Structure 1
Amino acid sequence: MAQSVFAPWADPNEKPLIQFRNVTKRFGDFTAIDDLTLDIFRREFFALLGPSGCGKTTLMRMLAGFEAPTEGTITLDGKDISPVPPHKREVNMMFQSYALFPHLTVYDNIAFGLKRSDMSRDEIAARVEQMLKMVQLQKFARRKPHQISGGQRQRVALARSLAKAPKLLLLDEPLGALDRKLREETQFELMDIQEKTGTTFVIVTHDQEEAMTVASRVAVMDHGKVIQVDTPDRIYETPNCVYVADFIGDVNLIEGNAYPAGDDRVSIEWAEGQPGIIATPAGAVEAGARITFAIRPEKVAICRDRPEDLPNAVRGRILDIAYLGNISTYHVALPSGHVIKAQTANDRRIARRSFTWEDEVWLGWTATAGVVLTQ
């Protein structure tokens, strides 16, 4: 049986767990969140992604109850949560600093919130054991936070946050303190735990790789507005504007004027003496419209000779090479002054580099390899 695709946002019968409706948040004259409307669904791992100061942390603080909207409403499970104080919301928050109690053991840190509920001692013990097992820390239950590693402390904080089974868990840059390899491992652990518990996770991060790895959907933010909300693959492959294309991953951006070229294609005039770029826009583009052509480096082929089978081919000289182990990125300078990046996979352990600095090369790509952006 085929696995059903998780996409509640595409189902008109699904009701969102969280709804932001025309939410604005001002601090004096500064508008941190600007008339924002957004839906987040049950069991989603939702990422708020953007540069520092874009409003993502303010959005999370409003969900947690540390800030109130200046205008608009935020509902959780259909109820307006603005008048509900933080400790009475079915929401928990995990901070980047983990905020563990240094004098308490791992066990007691996880049990802390439960002891303040009406659970019996036996129920608390069973729940803490369940949490320890989930984060694989049974052996460390009697240790203090300073006696375990950063990655283990992170898992204690996660277990404590999930112990009371909140409807929503907020994660504020939760992996920022971990080294790269541990961060990558922990991302998969987080996804696994989120799937097992069925809790809705909302993560705030400025790390695009992290957002693209863990999230079911990503909201890319800028200046208090959500610029695009979509699945990671669509955010990457079909950005809706230059800002999103440029913010997510590596990209070549070329400005020009688009003219119809038949077969739903356009020809983009972008540099004197260079052939027009043949591209396939997603929608209608007016003749002569100013557009930006965005193409990812891995979609640009680099060859010694002119690629006869590709509709787009330009010639240039290798300016720079970045060797990243699994891939190499070539920066190729064109006679027009443009620099285009092309990427190749290093799929052999020992291979003589086919290209080196100053080499004359051809770059080519298909008519559907890039995206035509009008804003």
Structure 2
Amino acid sequence: MNNAQFAPWEDPAAKPLIEFKGVTKNYGTFTAIDNIDLKIYPREFFALLGPSGCGKTTLMRMLGGFETVTKGSITIDGEDMAGIPPNKRAVNMMFQSYALFPHLSVADNLAFGLKRSDMPKSEIQGRVEEMLRLVKLQKFAGRKPHQLSGGQKQRVALARALAKAPKLLLLDEPLGALDKKLRQETQFELMDIQEKTGTTFVIVTHDQEEAMTVASRIAVMDDGKLVQVDTPDRIYEAPNSVYVADFIGDVNIIEGGVSNVSGEAAELSWSEGKPAIKGVSGERIQKGSSGAFAIRPEKIAISRDKPVDVHNCVQGVVEDIAYLGNMSTYYVRLDNGSLIKAQTANSRRIARRGLTWEDSVWLSWTDTAGIILPT
């Protein structure tokens, strides 16, 4: 979100557009959604993120009216959705398959739903042109879907879903069919369109990078439950569990015992004869319990010589190097057998970098670079 002030979830007086209260969904004895409470606010770009089978699509389908709630309630703009069919909700859904009519032109695809709505016929042409401008497809109005690229079809489907000005747009893995580069470009287009229209977007994705890029907030799901609901930076920097730390981005996890907790700092004993690791204390962490230290590879410095004045410092051997163009990832095997990943930006030419396979190196990080979480 471009607007740094946009954080209605922090305002107790803000009224949510969507509210899930104690929502459960059972299929026979299987619980797909387990007692979920969640508020989503107007103009949010909200992401439901999790692995296959975690319940994110079921949650979205209940919101759209395609699945019924077993227990609890869903309200949209203060109205209880129980018994209200999909076509009577101020909601539209964009599917992964795009579901365009192959025999109709782009313009006619956009006009199709409007002709069946209560919009005056005289306004339909203007609305179609407005939608074509929004998704930058004015020149393609007369083409049929088979004459379009994957990215263009995706934009037609988006324009069609927004044509009736729904309060809420549901997007089910909308960019899944696009190649990586096009997907990244389209993510920014989606954000731009969402901001221009002011429509609330709820996107289902299993792609962490996509959720981190587009969303104002992310709900990380597992086994039908919400594990953490927060802004992308908080989810990345302050995960509330090992599951979230491990699911979002790249991370090193070192297990051990919590030897000390002091306010926002904690220590983890992890290997006999080695100093305890210092880190930020995570939620629910207690002295004497088992814990795990989570640190991102880019927060770890790698050097030939032992750094001075750094508490968190371990020695190992470079076992592998992944060169990714803009950065290199070093896989370093420690004395106790642990494998740690450290990342460095490739700001210099290859010949001047100097670290290679089998080199003995030191890894170090600051006392606030990683977080100690309960296990």
Return the TM-score normalized by structure 2: 0.97
Residues 315-369 of structure 1 deviation map (CA, whole Å, 9 limit, x = unaligned):
0001111111111111100110111111000113554332111000000011100
- Mapping of 1:75-86 within 5 angstroms? 75-86=75-86
Is the partner of 1:119 in helix, strand or coil?
coil
Q: 1:239 to 1:261 in 2, by over 3 A?
A: closer
List gaps (5 residues or longer) in structure 1.
none
Between the aligned partners of 1:329 and 1:11, the Cα distance in structure 2 is 41
- Mapping of 1:6-17 within 5 angstroms? 6-17=6-17
The residue aligned with 1:273 is: 273
Is the partner of 1:87 in helix, strand or coil?
helix
The residue aligned with 1:292 is: 292
Is the partner of 1:245 in helix, strand or coil?
helix
Is the partner of 1:129 in helix, strand or coil?
helix
1:38 is matched by which residue type in structure 2? Answer: L
Question: Is the 8 Å Cα contact of residues 294 and 372 (structure 1) preserved in structure 2?
Answer: yes
The residue aligned with 1:196 is: 196
* C-alpha displacement of 1:283: 6.1
* C-alpha displacement of 1:284: 7.5
The residue aligned with 1:258 is: 258
The residue aligned with 1:326 is: 326
Q: CA RMSD in A?
A: 1.5
Between the aligned partners of 1:226 and 1:210, the Cα distance in structure 2 is 19
Structure 1 residue 178 corresponds to structure 2 residue 178: yes
* C-alpha displacement of 1:307: 0.9
1:92 is matched by which residue type in structure 2? Answer: N
Between the aligned partners of 1:263 and 1:127, the Cα distance in structure 2 is 57
The residue aligned with 1:166 is: 166
* C-alpha displacement of 1:371: 0.5
Question: Is the 8 Å Cα contact of residues 270 and 276 (structure 2) preserved in structure 1?
Answer: yes
Structure 1 residue 49 corresponds to structure 2 residue 49: yes
The residue aligned with 2:126 is: 126
The residue aligned with 1:20 is: 20
Is the partner of 2:352 in helix, strand or coil?
coil
Question: Is the 8 Å Cα contact of residues 105 and 142 (structure 1) preserved in structure 2?
Answer: yes
- Mapping of 1:22-171 within 5 angstroms? 22-171=22-171
1:108 is matched by which residue type in structure 2? Answer: D
Number of aligned residue pairs: give it: 374
Question: Is the 8 Å Cα contact of residues 269 and 276 (structure 1) preserved in structure 2?
Answer: yes
The residue aligned with 1:5 is: 5
Is the partner of 1:267 in helix, strand or coil?
strand
Question: Is the 8 Å Cα contact of residues 318 and 360 (structure 2) preserved in structure 1?
Answer: yes
Residues 187-220 of structure 1 deviation map (CA, whole Å, 9 limit, x = unaligned):
0000000000000000000000000000000000
Q: 1:62 to 1:262 in 2, by over 3 A?
A: closer
Residues 109-147 of structure 1 deviation map (CA, whole Å, 9 limit, x = unaligned):
001110001222220000000000000000000000001
Between the aligned partners of 1:270 and 1:296, the Cα distance in structure 2 is 18
Residues 149-181 of structure 1 deviation map (CA, whole Å, 9 limit, x = unaligned):
110000000000000000000000000000111
User: Once superposed, which parts of structure 1, at least 4 consecutive aligned residues long, lie more than 4 Å away?
Assistant: 261-264, 282-285
The residue aligned with 1:362 is: 362
Question: Is the 8 Å Cα contact of residues 272 and 336 (structure 1) preserved in structure 2?
Answer: no
Is the partner of 2:74 in helix, strand or coil?
strand
Question: Is the 8 Å Cα contact of residues 93 and 169 (structure 1) preserved in structure 2?
Answer: yes
* C-alpha displacement of 1:372: 1.0
Residues 81-120 of structure 1 deviation map (CA, whole Å, 9 limit, x = unaligned):
1211111110000000000000000000001110001222
* C-alpha displacement of 1:272: 1.6
Between the aligned partners of 1:222 and 1:235, the Cα distance in structure 2 is 15
Structure 1 residue 208 corresponds to structure 2 residue 216: no
Between the aligned partners of 1:97 and 1:145, the Cα distance in structure 2 is 12
Q: 1:3 to 1:191 in 2, by over 3 A?
A: closer
Between the aligned partners of 2:297 and 2:214, the Cα distance in structure 1 is 23
1:153 is matched by which residue type in structure 2? Answer: K
Q: 1:3 to 1:245 in 2, by over 3 A?
A: closer
* C-alpha displacement of 1:273: 2.7
Between the aligned partners of 1:170 and 1:265, the Cα distance in structure 2 is 41
List gaps (5 residues or longer) in structure 2.
none
Between the aligned partners of 2:283 and 2:53, the Cα distance in structure 1 is 33
Return the TM-score normalized by structure 1: 0.97
Question: Is the 8 Å Cα contact of residues 240 and 283 (structure 2) preserved in structure 1?
Answer: no
Is the partner of 1:280 in helix, strand or coil?
strand
1:248 is matched by which residue type in structure 2? Answer: I
Between the aligned partners of 2:207 and 2:9, the Cα distance in structure 1 is 24
1:330 is matched by which residue type in structure 2? Answer: Y
Q: 1:44 to 1:88 in 2, by over 3 A?
A: same
Residues 59-97 of structure 1 deviation map (CA, whole Å, 9 limit, x = unaligned):
011011110110000000011112111111100000000
Between the aligned partners of 2:230 and 2:212, the Cα distance in structure 1 is 11
Question: Is the 8 Å Cα contact of residues 219 and 227 (structure 2) preserved in structure 1?
Answer: yes
